[in-house]
Amino acid sequence: MFQLASRLARSTGGMSLLKRNCSSSTIPQYETLAVTVHSPFVYHVELNRPDRLNAMNGTMWREVGEAFRVLADDKDCRVVVLSGAGRAFTAGLDLSDPSVLMPSVEDDDDIARRCQAMHRLIRRYQDSVTSLEKCLKPVICAMNGPCVGAGVDIASTADIRLCSSDSWFQIKEVAIGLAADVGTLQRLPKAIGSRSLVNELALTARKFLSAEAKECGFVSGVFPDKESLMKAAFEMAASIAAMSPVAVQMTKRSLVFSRDHTVDESLEHIASWNQALLQSDDLMKSAMAAATKSPPPTFSKL
Ligand SMILES: CC/C=C\C=C\CC(=O)SCCNC(=O)CCNC(=O)[C@H](O)C(C)(C)COP(=O)(O)OP(=O)(O)OC[C@H]1O[C@@H](n2cnc3c(N)ncnc32)[C@H](O)[C@@H]1OP(=O)(O)O
């Protein structure tokens, strides 16, 4: 018991709960994103080019990666709600931005050099999308209106997908001469049960509406309008933020790892991590609260 008490004292440190629950981070400013703190530990990342339906220009591709890499290290952030400003989640790749698919060596005569530059560009865009997954804070993707092309890549990478009833989705790449290359073809088959449906959607570029998205499991909730969607997304985010951040982030790490590995490899993975995490102060505090019939504890920051 003495050991438990001293660990509890250590975990609360000298700081007041109020101080620990308030954000003290400085949030970078972005040109194409609005990043705000919605409530304690709940961050909101908004794709913010509403007049272009949040189409992803070169700056947005770069800033999405930068923002999620910053949030990954932000101790005040435990969960992220990702949405689009205005009437769309995103209309996908910005087709009016010439730089978006043209690396700087476009006029180089040598095909090998042009290919290398294009390869680097694609890998950069892939890294931007993957940054949602590498950030161990759960990402709730709240979508309204169109979610086209790159939007499906991003949504497929999020941990939880919700949408409003007016939303629709389209893996549009084959219709504009592209094979989707930043994550949809790799992640969507693992996000929804039917590979036949994934193949159909990717090969025909047919739109699917919110009801079908729910039926096939692409989204886990459909809400009547954007207002109720955002309310539900932030409530869900707050409930995740109230959990032990150590446990939540380990759960995300394990879920992502398990998606891409065998059950046995994944069990070994969580056993290796949990040999440390089972000694967490958060577990001790929870056990103490249960034993003393106290309310659930407030967890310290990471
Ligand atoms: C390495 C490669 C990495 C990633 C590759 C990703 C591939 C893709 O993302 S493929 C998908 C590309 N996107 C599209 O083809 C969608 C194009 N847009 C539309 O079809 C329509 O806008 C719509 C989504 C069906 C919505 O139609 P509507 O409601 O009638 O609005 P609009 O008047 O068309 O749009 C309003 C405003 O936004 C501009 N805009 C829309 N989409 C884009 C876009 N993708 N790129 C640039 N700009 C876009 C549109 O031009 C309008 O602007 P105005 O100035 O008002 O004309």
152 lines ligand 1 (CB under 6 A): no
**Cβ 44 vs Cβ 67: under 8 Å:** no
159-182 tens-digit pLDDT: 999 999 999 999 999 999 999 999
pLDDT at position 242 is 95
> 90 C-alpha vs ligand 1 centroid, how far in Å?
8
Q: What percent of the chain has pLDDT over 90?
A: 75
pLDDT at position 166 is 98
94 lines ligand 1 (CB under 6 A): yes
CA distance 131 to 61: 11
173 lines ligand 1 (CB under 6 A): yes
pLDDT at position 1 is 34
pLDDT at position 114 is 87
CA distance 30 to 274: 37
> 4 C-alpha vs ligand 1 centroid, how far in Å?
58
Q: How confident is the model at residue 228 (pLDDT cuts 50, 70, 90)?
A: very high
Long-range contacts of 18-23 (CB under 8 A, 24+ apart): 20/298, 20/300, 20/301, 21/298, 23/76
Choosing from 119, 148, 167, 172 the residue with most ligand 1 atoms within 8 A of its CB, the one to mutate for a pocket test is 148
Of 6-20, 78-92, 258-272, 287-301, the poorest mean pLDDT is in: 6-20
Domains present along the chain, CATH in parentheses: 33-241 (3.90.226.10), 243-301 (1.10.12.10)
93 lines ligand 1 (CB under 6 A): yes
Report whether pLDDT(282) > 60: yes
223 lines ligand 1 (CB under 6 A): no
246 lines ligand 1 (CB under 6 A): no
Ligand 1 atom closest to 170 (CA): 11
106-163 tens-digit pLDDT: 667 888 888 898 999 999 999 999 999 999 999 999 999 999 999 999 999 999 999 9
> 16 C-alpha vs ligand 1 centroid, how far in Å?
49
E strand or H helix at 83, and its extent? strand 79-84
146 lines ligand 1 (CB under 6 A): yes
183 lines ligand 1 (CB under 6 A): no
> 96 C-alpha vs ligand 1 centroid, how far in Å?
9
**Cβ 52 vs Cβ 92: under 8 Å:** no
> 172 C-alpha vs ligand 1 centroid, how far in Å?
11
Choosing from 52, 130, 156 the residue with most ligand 1 atoms within 8 A of its CB, the one to mutate for a pocket test is 52
91 lines ligand 1 (CB under 6 A): yes
Average pLDDT over residues 280-301: 86
pTM for the model stands at 0.91
CA dihedral 32, 35, 36, 38 (to 10 degrees): 110
CA distance 263 to 266: 5
The residue contributing the CA closest to ligand 1 atom 37 is: 52
Mean pLDDT value across the chain: 90
CA distance 28 to 63: 10
Ligand 1 atom closest to 93 (CA): 9
Average pLDDT over residues 185-194: 95
Report whether pLDDT(262) > 80: yes
pLDDT at position 103 is 72
CA distance 285 to 302: 15
Q: Is the ipTM of this complex over 0.90?
A: yes
